[in-house]
Amino acid sequence: MDKLAIEYSSMNLGVLALWLLIATLVGFAARKAVRGKAILGLWGDAAFGILGVFLIGTLFKAFNISLTGWIAGFDLGPLNDITKWLDIALIAFLGALVIRGVLRPITGKG
């Protein structure tokens, strides 16, 4: 169970705000990609992003998959410091796409 533990010691208000911003942006992008209805507007997009990062992030952690090393392999120069956030955004986007894809038959087209 320790393998799935998440480190929260460096979490502060700025980090929380960045999580919410990333979740909202990727939730919105997933809504546009799947072309589904807006469920609760941007709040719903944020919820899909957060649920997506939880869903796919938990699966990736369970199977020891990390996108951070893969992203760092591209040698982004000065952007190498944000590879963790790019990892989170990519995982959240994948998760939001999966959730929106599953819910699309229920919610209908946009």
> Taking the model in full, what pTM does it have?
0.79
| Residue 101 contacts residue 56 (beta carbons within 8 Å) | no
Residue 63 belongs to domain spanning = 23-107
Q: Is residue 12 part of a domain?
A: no
Number of domains in the chain: 1
Q: What is the DSSP string of 63-100?
A: TT--HHHHHHTT--GGGGGGHHHHHHHHHHHHHHHHHH
Per the domain annotation, does 6 fall within a domain?
Answer: no
Answer yes or no: is 33 within a domain.
yes
Name residues whose C-beta falls within 8 Å of residue 20's C-beta, 6 or more positions apart in sequence: 46, 50
Check whether 15 has a pLDDT greater than 70: yes
Residue 13 predicted with pLDDT over 80: yes
Give a yes or no: residue 8 inside a domain: no
What digits encode the pLDDT tens for the residues 53-92?
A: 999 989 988 998 888 778 777 777 777 778 788 888 999 9
62 within some domain: yes
4 falls within a domain: no
